[in-house]
Structure 1
Amino acid sequence: MTDMNVLSQKMKNVMIVLLGFLFLTANMACKTDDPTIPDTNMENDNEMMSDTTSNQLKINIGSKTFMATLVDNPTVTAFKAKLPLTVSMSELNGNEKLYNFPSNLPINPSNPRTINTGDLMIYSSNVLVLFYKSFSTSYSYTRLGRIANPAGLEAALAASAAGSGDVTVTFELE
């Protein structure tokens, strides 16, 4: 019986070592060295928004100008490299204007659950979206920023669309 107890104890020790190895391996597989903060539904706007001038975006639509604050993430860095930018944005769903970049931007999409008027985001990896109405969503986006005071945004987009739904929008750093 003593040999059986010794063998049983050795089997237990081997099992403990194997389980420990599996735990460490699984834990390392889930770890990421990516320091970016995943986008959220912006409950902590003050933490994610930067007050630096370089993160202030001027959005011109016709004669109206809106100021947005950009978040700090790799997508915004790639977006800022394209500025100043004047694009024709097309209508979608009666709540947003969009522009398709010819190349992909780095993304870190998440579902914000609620889109707010004035949100500026990337859908997929190359679709710039400016939302002019608030609504619930099941889609995932990478946040670029938000217009601080979106009052009049919908009217400016409609007035500049000239009936076609397409509108020319200029984005530039302040």
Structure 2
Amino acid sequence: MKLYASIIIFILPLMVSASCTSEETVLTPNTDSPSVTENSESMKDTVLITIGSNQFTATLESNAAATEFKKMLPLTINMKDLNSNEKFFDLASNLTTNAANPRTINSGDLMLWGSNTLVLFYKSFNTSYSYTRLGKIENPSGLSQALGSGNVTVTFELQ
């Protein structure tokens, strides 16, 4: 009995190591490639918004309207002022909508009103209107001053 036990103790580790194949090597994590569990925020698209000599960075939403908007870039447009809190521009084509009432608009919100009106908000306020969210300026400090009180030329481009 001791002989069989000795043989099993000696042969078992050899059998286990011999049964390893190169396929198991593929399962070893590769530290050179991005992790599948990477934060989805790092995968979002960013847009550079230029107003005169001022630049702002916006992060686009992960929705159909934002994807369609991204395909239009780069885009330089003359945005009109409305209600002393937003600039708007009517796009040439309609985008997919998923409108909802955000209740509160924040400075730096980039939204779609209806299916083709691009809106950049530069003041925060409560609203009863519904919009499709396209993105948000990460740091809207100075946005109101950059946009001014009248019409303004704004350039949107992917970063």
CA contact (8 A) 1:50 1:71 kept: no
Tell me the residue number matched to 2:145: 155
Tell me the residue number matched to 1:80: 70
Q: Which secondary structure state, in structure 2, belongs to the residue aligned with residue 59 of structure 1? A: strand
CA distance in 2, matches of 1:50, 1:124: 27
Is residue 63 from structure 1 mapped to residue 53 from structure 2 by the alignment? yes
Is residue 97 from structure 1 mapped to residue 87 from structure 2 by the alignment? yes
Is residue 139 from structure 1 mapped to residue 118 from structure 2 by the alignment? no
CA distance in 2, matches of 1:57, 1:71: 11
Task: Write the deviation string for residues 118-151 of structure 1: whole angstroms up to 9, x where unpaired.
Answer: 0000000000000000000000000011001000
What displacement does 1:93 show? 0.4
Amino acid at match of 2:111: M
CA distance in 1, matches of 2:153, 2:62: 26
Tell me the residue number matched to 2:155: 170
CA distance in 2, matches of 1:105, 1:153: 25
Amino acid at match of 1:97: K
What displacement does 1:103 show? 1.4
Amino acid at match of 2:42: D
Aligned partner (choices 31, 42, 48) of residue 51 of structure 1: 42
Structure ID, larger Rg: 2
Report sequence identity in percent.
58
CA contact (8 A) 1:67 1:148 kept: yes
Tell me the matched-pair count.
120
Return the structure number with greater helix share. 1
CA distance in 1, matches of 2:47, 2:71: 13
